Amino acid sequence: TAILSLRGVTKSYGSGDLQVQALRGIDLDVPEGDFLAITGPSGSGKSTLMHILGCLDVPTTGSYELAGVDVSQMSESDLAHVRNREIGFVFQQFNLLQSQSALRNVELPMVYAGMARAERQDRAAEALERVGLGDRLDHKPTQLSGGQQQRVSVARALVTNPTMILADEPTGNLDSVATTDVLELFHALHDQGRTVVVITHEADVAASAAHAVRIRDGRLSHEAAGV
């Protein structure tokens, strides 16, 4: 069954002569447990689609069902709840707090969820172990390599046990060794049955996913599968 289902999704910015149609009718089904790459050139609509998939924004028209719930007309506050419950974000810039340890960074989503300290620390340590950083709990981001920092942010995304991991250009700041490292981590998550969606302009990253779709001028075309 599809965990994400988009039908006729459009997104326009501005109005009148200045209106931009960023998405022009997106149909997409992502089965539970898929590892999907969404690729496309600059300006094609990737960020706009990522914002809709991540419940950071809603479509202008069309429907979006996430885990069986239509989120396309939700209020900002309802959308925020869905976002916190269902989606683990991974960003290009890692978005880690520089003054805080890896453990503390991974604890943060659970602080917001109001969980007790001891349980937070246990779960954060376990998530860091799962991404291979069990021996780096007390390190700060500056004491970690780029690939390790991205692993911390993947642990942070996982720790709330979200419906999907949504990664926006996750290897955009990484060298090729660290890129391979992070892609291997996504493969491991996929093998464990996680749903992983990666937005990327890098063809080799797209090729390593289980499936890839390409966006161009706000429309999707389906590509041959990778591995």
- Stretch touching ligand ADP by CB under 6 A, among 26-34, 45-53, 134-142, 183-191: 45-53
Establish if 74 lies at the interface with ligand ADP (CB under 6 A). Answer: no
Among 39, 44, 148, 149, interactor with ligand ADP by CB under 6 A: 44
Helix (H/G/I), strand (E/B), else coil: 191:
helix
Q: Sign of the CA dihedral 50, 54, 57, 63? A: positive
Q: Under rule CB under 6 A, how many of the chain's residues touch ligand ADP?
A: 20
From the CB of residue 113, how many other CB atoms can be counted at a distance below 10 Å? 12
Helix (H/G/I), strand (E/B), else coil: 22:
strand
Among 5, 6, 36, 40, interactor with ligand ADP by CB under 6 A: 40
Among 93, 99, 161, 192, interactor with ligand ADP by CB under 6 A: 93
Closest CB 48 distance from ligand ADP, rounded Å: 3
Among 28, 39, 45, 52, interactor with ligand ADP by CB under 6 A: 45
DSSP state letters, 141-190: GGGS-HHHHHHHHHHHHHTT--SEEEEESTTTT--HHHHHHHHHHHHHHH
| Binding mask of the shown chain, residues 198 to 227, with x at each position contacting ligand ADP by CB under 6 A | ------------------------------
Establish if 43 lies at the interface with ligand ADP (CB under 6 A). Answer: yes
The DSSP code for 47 is: H
Tokens of 219: 């429309």
Beta strands in the chain (DSSP E): 2-13, 20-31, 35-39, 61-66, 69-70, 87-91, 164-168, 195-200, 211-216, 219-222
Establish if 91 lies at the interface with ligand ADP (CB under 6 A). Answer: yes
User: Which residues would be at the binding site for ligand ADP (CB under 6 A)?
Assistant: 13-14, 20, 22, 40, 42-48, 56, 89, 91-93, 95, 168-169
